[in-house]
Structures are given as C-alpha cells and as structure tokens.
Structure 1
Amino acid sequence: MKLLHLLIVALVSVGMMACSSTSPSVIAKPPQPLFMDTHFSGFDQLQVETEQEVFALDEDMIRFAEKVSAGANEPKAAAKQLVRAVFGRASLNLLYDNEANTIAQDTFHNRAANCLSMSIMTYALATQAGMQIEFQEVDVPEFWTRRDGYSFLNGHVNLRITPKRSPNTIYFSAQAVEVDFDPQVMSARLPSRTVSKQRVLAMFYNNKAADALVHHNAKQAYAYSRAALLKDPSLAEAWVNLGVLYRQNGLLEAAEQSYQRAIQLEGSRSAQENLAVIYNMTGRQAQAQQIIQALEEQRASNPFYHFLLGEQEYELAHWRAAIGHYRRAIELNRQQHEFYFGLAKAYYEIGDLALTERYLKLAKRRSVNDHDEHRYQSKLNLLTKL
C-alpha cells in the first residue's frame, strides 16, 4: 500500500472555539546526505514559488479585503465580516477542490480551494485588512482518500484571526475568530497548535510534491520535497513523500532513511507502513509483518481505515469485499457521506439499483456543502433514467 501525506480537507465553515497552542519550534537545516540531487538532474531549473509569490495579493484582492472589512463597528465584527465574505456564495463562491494547491492569487480568481490554499488566501486577505492571524494545525484522526491509485493520508489546517485592537478600548469578550473548512472538525473540538508561516509554506510545497508524485513527475516532486524540507525539516509528511519518491526511483536505502526520519519526528504511521514495503522488498518480511500487524491493531476502530480498504477493493473490482468494508466504516461512523457513496457505487456495480438509490439518498442527506449535495442529486437523476 502506498501512502502519501497530503494536507487537504473537505468543507467550509466559520466558527469560534478555544484552542491550545504552542510556540513554533526552532528550525534547523536537514542533514544533506538525505538529499539525492545527482539522481534528479535538472530539478534546480524548475520554478518553485517563493514565499512572496505564494502569499501575494493583486489589486483586486486588496480592494476586496479593504471593502469587506470596512464599516464594522468593532474589530471582532470586522474579522467575521471578512470571513463571511470569503466563504459566502454571494462573494467569492469558492468550491472545494482537493487538487487546488494554488497560491493566494490563483485561489482568489479560480474560486476553488482546498483547506491549505484557502488558509493561505485568507491569511493574505486578513493581513491586508490589518488583522492578526495565525495558522493552526489540527490533530485530526487518520483520514484517507484515494486518488489515481494512491492513498492520501490527510491533515488539516485552519486559521485563528485576532482583529487589530483599537487603542484606549477595553474588550470584555474573546476577540478571536476561528476559520475552518470542516464543520465536523469544529464541532469535534479537536486539539490544535499554532504553526508558523514557514511551516505552512513547507506544507504547500509538500502538497505540490504529492501532486507531482501522482503525475509521475519525479524531477518536480524532488524539487518541491527538497524545498519543503529546507523550509521546515521537522515536517514529517515531507520526509514520507521524499521516501516514496526515492522508492519509486530505486533508491531504497535513501527511502528507508527518509521513512526513519519521519518516524523519529512524529512516529508517523504512514512512514511505518511505507517502511514495511521497503522491508518486504529487501527480504525482511518478518519485520514488515510485525509493523503491519501493529498498525492494523491500532486502526481497527478507525472508520476511515475501513473506508480506505473499501476504496482499494473497489478499485480491484472486488465489489462484495468493498461493500463489507464500507459497511464496517458506517458502523463506526454514520455521519460521513463518502461512506454511503462508497456503498452506492459498489451496489451499482453488482446491479442492485434499489440499494444504489438508497445509499445515494443517504449520502446526499449527510452532505455538508452544496457541491456534494448537487453531485449526489445529479447521480440520482441519472439513475432514474436507467
């Protein structure tokens, strides 16, 4: 099983909550031997966006930020006004797109975003509006998605906006506004920690590296992975992706070292699983099996793990096996629309249109944004024509 870290999340909401935070760690340069520049000749000729380019605003964005934050009676209201304008359908009308790993300007004009690109754009707009803003990394449970034959282990980032306080004014209530894509993350009140702008930039590079891996562009994947680790060598998921790249290019020893580095940093389960792949490839089956068994025990109660297994079985056309995994996922968590859609598509493949319709309706009912609701309704409309 190939696991890549990719920092994406699904939905949009606005809310406030108290969060724990820590100071950003001091960043040291990574050990150079783990870079394999000579094996990816020409990577340094590729353009990697600078920090200024990633967060830059153009004139339209500047006008937008100033307009939507103007006229508020108090700083907290100004922050919420900005957030509503960013998320509101009448304004930007942003759509979720897990592949939209874009700089702030492209996110603004393309009107499509994942959680990281949305956070980057909102950070830039709020800063222009004179607000203080922090990135937060949320400790979400292991959550996978499938794309082009790869399994992506997703992380989550949101924002905490603190309006600029007016002088000589006393505030009697909390002023912070938390901005999050996913209402389920908000309602779960998961712990979070403040992370630096530098780390977020490393996450952006890492997402670009993951995209390049999926598209089999090794040189670009290396350029972005290298940039991520130079920006923040403590980013474990960047070491995982670098290890995947090394393994794909036959650099097994370097891949193993990269996975070990990720495990040292965060005990990364995806790094452990990828390490087991290396062990199997190099005749260390007993060690590989020990890792896999321990991971399966840890993940037995994780609905997203069973959903991932269902997706993998579906891709192999093992429809009945896929149904079993999707049902187990639903037993553990009945709120995820993706689980019901998994059942719907599997039942469609075995010709049971009644159950296909039933689970499409359940998926639609549990949708948390208009985009997914319309998507499921479109499939229901097609189903009635069969």
Structure 2
Amino acid sequence: MAILLALAGAGTAQAGALQLDPGPLAPTQARQPAFLTAEAQAAAAMTLPPELRAVVVELGFDRGVATLDRVRRLYEYMVSEQGLGLRYREQPTHGLAESYATREVNCLSFTMMFIALARASGIDAYAQASNDALAMRVLEDTVYRAHHVKAGVDIDGVQYTVDVGWRAVVAEEKPRRISDVELVALLHNNNAVERLLAGDLSSAMTETGRMLALDSDNATIWSNAGVVNWRSGRYQPAEQAYLKALQIQDDHLGALSNLVALYRTTGEERLAAQYGKRLKKAQAMDPFSQFLLAEQLVRQGAYGEALGHYRRAIRLLPNQATFHRGMAEAYRQKGDLQAAQRALQRAESIELRKYSQRGIQDADANS
C-alpha cells in the first residue's frame, strides 16, 4: 500500500494543506551508488530468501503457462493457516524476508511476495497500482491517504488481479501495470512515511533518497520529498520538490496543498493565492478533499453546507463507508434523524460487505 500524507493547514477553510507523498531528500542528495542500477536494486529486493524458496519446492507446481487454478492455490497457501498464514497489518511495510519472519503483510508487501513466489513457480506475475486514493484518515496534523497495490497475472488473454484484500481472484479490464523498479520504489516510499510518522527524520531522508533514485518520474514521490524537507526545516528544497511534482502532474493534490501551505508560512501570499486557485479546482474532483471540507464545516456547525460536500464525495466515491458515517452525523446534528439512520445503515452495509469479502485476516483480529 503506497501512502500519501497531507499536513492539514491551520486556520483555513479548505481541506488539506501540506501534503506528503514520502519523497526524496533534496534532489542533490538523492543519488545512489553508481554501481547499483535501479534494476539491480529492484532485483535484489524481489529475490526470494531461502525460507521462501523452500515454499516453492513444497508447493510443487508444474512450471509453464499459468492457470487460474494454480494462481488461486498459491494465493490460498499464502493466507491459510495450513500454509504461510499471513496476516494483514498496515504498518510497517516489510520486505520479503521480514514479511516471512513476522507473517505480517500489507497490500504492497503481499504483492511483492506473491509476485516473487509466482515467478519462481513459473507464473508470469507483475505489479499493478491504483492512481486513485482508496482510503484516508486523519492522524493529528496529518492527512493519511492510501493508494492500492496488487498483483496481476495474464491467463488466456485475460488480465487477472490477485488482491490481498479480497477472497476472489478477479478479472479486470486494464489496470495500470508497473515495473519492479516502481514497485520497490513504493516500498521505500512507505518506509519513508513510516519513519517520518515515527519522528525519525534522518531515516526518512535516507528512504526518500532511495525512493527518488529508483523512480524520479513520480509526482507523489516528489511531493513527499518536499514534506520530508519541510519537516526538516529545509524550505527551499521543499519548494523545489513540490514544483517538480507539478511539472509531472499539474493537478497533483499533495503538491498543490503543500505548496500553498509553504507559501503561506513564508508570507508569499500572491503565490499562495495563485496555487490556491489550482488547488480548489483539483479538490472539486477529489472525494477525500470534499469529505475533509465537510468534516470541517460540521465542526463549525454548518451542517447544511457540509451535507452538500458529503454528497459530492459520495458521488465521486460511493462505497467509502466513512463518507456515509460523516453524512449520518451531519444529518443527526441538523435534526433529521430519519436521514441520519439511512446514511448509517448504508455505511454499515458497506463495511459488512467488505469485511465478508476479505481474503486475509487482520493481525490484531484475535488480540
């Protein structure tokens, strides 16, 4: 699960402000040793440790063209108690050896392990990434967004998705395929965010440098680079990183929010207003931005106005239970208890359906 953070802006009426997608150090600090190419780094990260190579022997798959049955058997072996017994834990994001040792994975580490095991079993698997944020929560002054990563397999001309979150292996039309280099860059991306959240700025800087060295064409990586620099008191490198992100993707929410916050902090109100207009336009098409704005309006007691933003968020992303729960609270505060109950029932229905379809248990389920 690749992670986007956003530092919420103080005293503004807009959702968001500084947004982080764990990024590099200052651009001049992000170089890796010349003798290790990006491909070599990715290959090393995707190499099975001895314990997992033994799993391939234990499975005893016939090598050759992938079949859907073999893909399903591998998936079930990874999540069942009779196999690896992997459990879901959002953080930390582990590499292959650590995932095997702890038997704990998130979307990204599960995807890495599935791909490595599948390839060793003669199945041509690869990584897929979602461009859209699939989940969001607020931790103190940080908006925390999650982007989904999963594995793909092509069988008889059909592209299948293998997802840690669901029981079924499903067919999709054209999800976005990413390279091993991009996948491993996302591993460092997650590590950087986790180190930053833990207050370890030195390690966060190291991880963001590794991330940028692997994938310097990713707007989210540059935006996160800016946040790491911002948190380290390095305003100019932060600004450069945000601007680089916007060169790659001119409507990137993280970079726009972070840049507006930076310019307000440094007193450059003209630039803050200029990028603020672009930010507002981008937020109008982002469900989580609409949700955050609705939440802020609820805190201010503007329940009717908040409901409009909840509705827009739900139109953009209908099956996010958090949106419906927020709407239920706004209706309750407004005094429309019948509408509040309907919204709450919708949230509970979405949560129940997602829980029943999970293909892997949470690590804390029995604690």
The verdict on a shared fold, with TM-score over 0.5 as the criterion, is yes
**Local SS of the residue matching 2:21:** strand
> What is the deviation of 1:188?
11
**Local SS of the residue matching 1:146:** strand
Residue matched to 1:369: 354
Q: Contact 2:222/2:241 (CA < 8 Å) preserved in 1?
A: yes
- The answer to whether the aligner puts 1:286 opposite 2:270 as a matched pair is yes
If the length of structure 1 is used for normalisation, what is the TM-score? 0.69
Q: Contact 1:115/1:156 (CA < 8 Å) preserved in 2?
A: yes
Q: Contact 1:146/1:311 (CA < 8 Å) preserved in 2?
A: no
Q: What are the within-5 Å matches in structure 2 for residues 55-204 of structure 1?
A: 55-58=46-49, 60-68=51-59, 70=61, 75-76=66-67, 77-87=69-79, 91-92=83-84, 94-140=86-132, 144-162=136-154, 173-174=156-157, 176-181=159-164, 191-204=174-187
Residue matched to 2:191: 208
Cα 1:217–1:353 change in 2 (3 A) is farther
AA aligned to 1:251 is R
**Local SS of the residue matching 1:156:** strand
Supply the distance in 2 between the matched residues of 1:277 and 1:140 (Cα, whole angstroms).
Answer: 23
**Local SS of the residue matching 1:35:** helix
> What is the deviation of 1:3?
1.3
> What is the deviation of 1:53?
6.9
Supply the distance in 1 between the matched residues of 2:149 and 2:96 (Cα, whole angstroms).
Answer: 15
Q: Contact 2:29/2:209 (CA < 8 Å) preserved in 1?
A: no
Cα 1:285–1:69 change in 2 (3 A) is farther
> What is the deviation of 1:203?
1.0
Q: Contact 1:139/1:192 (CA < 8 Å) preserved in 2?
A: no
> What is the deviation of 1:237?
1.8
AA aligned to 2:53 is I
Residue of 27, 34, 38 corresponding to 1:34: 27
> What is the deviation of 1:161?
2.4
> What is the deviation of 1:83?
2.5
Cα 1:248–1:139 change in 2 (3 A) is closer
**Local SS of the residue matching 1:199:** helix
If the length of structure 2 is used for normalisation, what is the TM-score? 0.72
AA aligned to 2:246 is I
1:124-148 superposed Cα distances (whole Å, 9 cap, x missing partner): 2212222222222333368644334
Supply the distance in 2 between the matched residues of 1:156 and 1:86 (Cα, whole angstroms).
Answer: 19
> What is the deviation of 1:88?
5.4
AA aligned to 1:306 is Q
Supply the distance in 1 between the matched residues of 2:171 and 2:306 (Cα, whole angstroms).
Answer: 28
> What is the deviation of 1:193?
3.3
Unaligned runs of 5+ in 2: 1-16, 31-40, 359-367
- The answer to whether the aligner puts 1:270 opposite 2:270 as a matched pair is no
Identical residues among aligned pairs (%): 25
Supply the distance in 1 between the matched residues of 2:341 and 2:21 (Cα, whole angstroms).
Answer: 33
> What is the deviation of 1:370?
2.5
Supply the distance in 2 between the matched residues of 1:53 and 1:357 (Cα, whole angstroms).
Answer: 52
Moved more, 271-280 or 341-350: 341-350
Supply the distance in 1 between the matched residues of 2:349 and 2:205 (Cα, whole angstroms).
Answer: 42
AA aligned to 2:182 is R
AA aligned to 1:289 is A
Cα 1:109–1:142 change in 2 (3 A) is closer
- The answer to whether the aligner puts 1:230 opposite 2:240 as a matched pair is no
1:285-313 superposed Cα distances (whole Å, 9 cap, x missing partner): 12212222222223324332212334566
Supply the distance in 2 between the matched residues of 1:6 and 1:311 (Cα, whole angstroms).
Answer: 25
**Local SS of the residue matching 2:237:** helix
**Local SS of the residue matching 2:122:** coil
Residue matched to 1:3: 19
RMSD of aligned Cα (Å): 4.0
AA aligned to 2:354 is N
AA aligned to 1:363 is A
Cα 1:120–1:188 change in 2 (3 A) is closer
Supply the distance in 1 between the matched residues of 2:77 and 2:102 (Cα, whole angstroms).
Answer: 16
Q: What are the within-5 Å matches in structure 2 for residues 355-366 of structure 1?
A: 359-366=343-350
Q: Contact 2:331/2:337 (CA < 8 Å) preserved in 1?
A: yes
Supply the distance in 1 between the matched residues of 2:125 and 2:65 (Cα, whole angstroms).
Answer: 17
Cα 1:334–1:156 change in 2 (3 A) is closer
Supply the distance in 1 between the matched residues of 2:218 and 2:81 (Cα, whole angstroms).
Answer: 34
Supply the distance in 2 between the matched residues of 1:89 and 1:320 (Cα, whole angstroms).
Answer: 50
**Local SS of the residue matching 2:199:** coil
> What is the deviation of 1:118?
1.6
Cα 1:347–1:147 change in 2 (3 A) is farther
Q: Contact 1:302/1:332 (CA < 8 Å) preserved in 2?
A: yes
Cα 1:141–1:211 change in 2 (3 A) is closer
Residue matched to 1:334: 318
Q: Contact 2:65/2:123 (CA < 8 Å) preserved in 1?
A: no
AA aligned to 2:323 is F
Supply the distance in 1 between the matched residues of 2:293 and 2:89 (Cα, whole angstroms).
Answer: 23
